[in-house]
Amino acid sequence: VMTFVGPPEEMVEAAFRAIAKAAELIDLDQHVGEHPRIGASDVVPFVPIRGVSMQECVALARRLGERVGRELQIPVYLYEEAATRPERVNLENIRRGQYEALKQEIAAHSEREPDFGPRRVGPAGATVIGARQPLVAFNIYLTSDDVSIADKIAKAVRNSSGGLRFVKALGLSVEGRAQVSMNLTNFHKTPLARVVEMVRREAERYGVGIQHSELVGLIPQDALVEAARWYLQLDQFEPEQILEQRLAAAQAANPAGEAGGDSFLEALAAGTPAPGGGSAAAYAGAAGAALVAMVARLTIGKKKYAAVEAQMQAVLTRAEALRAILQEAVALDAAAFEAVMAAYRLPKDTPEQQAGRSRAIETTMLAAADAPLKVAGMAVEVMELASQVIALGNLNAISDGASGAAMARAALAGSGLNVRINVNSLENPQSSEALVAALESLEQRATELEAAIRQELQARAKLVLA
């Protein structure tokens, strides 16, 4: 199970690449296991978290499904909110008979016809793609190896056989222990604690108990908070009493207090070695990406620029992703430098300590050189996006696009200096040469982009540039 979070366009691309890689590596004709499946990439749900609607997730699911069917020739079935047939809303209906049955039935039975892709399956099987609310995948292990007990408990708990609403369950044998494997499809209406207690009561009928439980993938914080409220009997509890939530609310009300705001500039001016030039370079790159995003937004929705709206949407998505990563890099660069300082403080009294210290310095110094190199690569990408908004975007904001390019160029210069100073401390010349060669390639690309941006500015804005 993999869970990844990000902007919609990037999620579609990431999911497509994951499906393609799984199809390359996994042969279902050779695969056996306890859990039902019909494909190497068995199920791919889009889940709205923030700033995106369920309908948008449905559109993303259908777009991904069409591409997987067309380019990878993998049959695709749409499920949950994206389902095209009522009987395909529930995943278990699509998985009926698993890969082995689907292989025999897909061409012969009309109800098995996929929504996208061919009516045949290869060794990668089929993929189920859809959109749904957050799901909690939760397993309970029993103090028994008798899987028939897990089967009986699963039957009592699951909704389809008269149990709890919004619970899907089956009994499995996992590493010699009976397991009740469950999916909670709406933890607000059927809370986690209620499920655990019902499993506990049913287990007692058969003289067994709960050995331990596990999460598969991620869980919404509210699900755990509700479980804590129930078990601790915190009847007067309010979410604002959680320290981290109160801090997040305070930071949202005062963005300047976050890293990258006024406090970052204060830290940068302090008499400490970190944060330093590498963090400042990442901050400049993030500012450049923000300006590019601004120009893209000022272009999208304007009738005059309707012909380039799709390109501006793509630019906006990538610019915002880069801005987020570069903001994180502000802190990561400082952390990389602090790791180097920690390595230099390691003891060196014995030959063994000296050898360990040397290895630690080399490892952390390599990471400290790699961190600004990543910033340099993103800075050049920001320049490429800036060149697009300068060439195609809203003419009234063209100088903002150029300012974004200038900020990105400054980010490249600052991060480049940090790469070069850090590689001087590396013992391995091959590592040093590879890092410097990668940096020089980025600098050459930046020079080319600067020339192209200058030409566009002179052509579109009639600017006289020195």
Tell me the backbone φ, ψ of residue 76, rounded to 5 degrees: -125, 130
> Sheet harboring 76-80: ordered strands across?
43-46, 127-131, 76-80
Does residue 405 come out as left (phi exceeding 0), alpha (psi in the -120 to 50 range) or beta? alpha
Q: Which of 27, 29, 35, 145 is catalytic?
A: 35
AA identity, residue 210: I
Tracing tokens 């028994």 back to the chain, one arrives at 144
Tracing tokens 């009997």 back to the chain, one arrives at 233
Q: Is the peptide bond before 45 cis (omega within 30 degrees of 0)?
A: no
Q: Is the peptide bond before 275 cis (omega within 30 degrees of 0)?
A: yes
The answer to whether residue 35 is catalytic is: yes
Maximal C-alpha separation, the chain: 86
Pairing of strands 167-174, 177-184: antiparallel
SS3 303: helix
SS3 315: helix
> Cα angle vertex 393, ends 389, 398, to 5°?
75
Nearest to 134 by CA among 17, 19, 54, 14: 54
Decide if 65 contacts 102 (C-beta within 8 A).
no
Does residue 463 come out as left (phi exceeding 0), alpha (psi in the -120 to 50 range) or beta? beta
The answer to whether residue 31 is catalytic is: no
Residues forming the active site: 35, 333
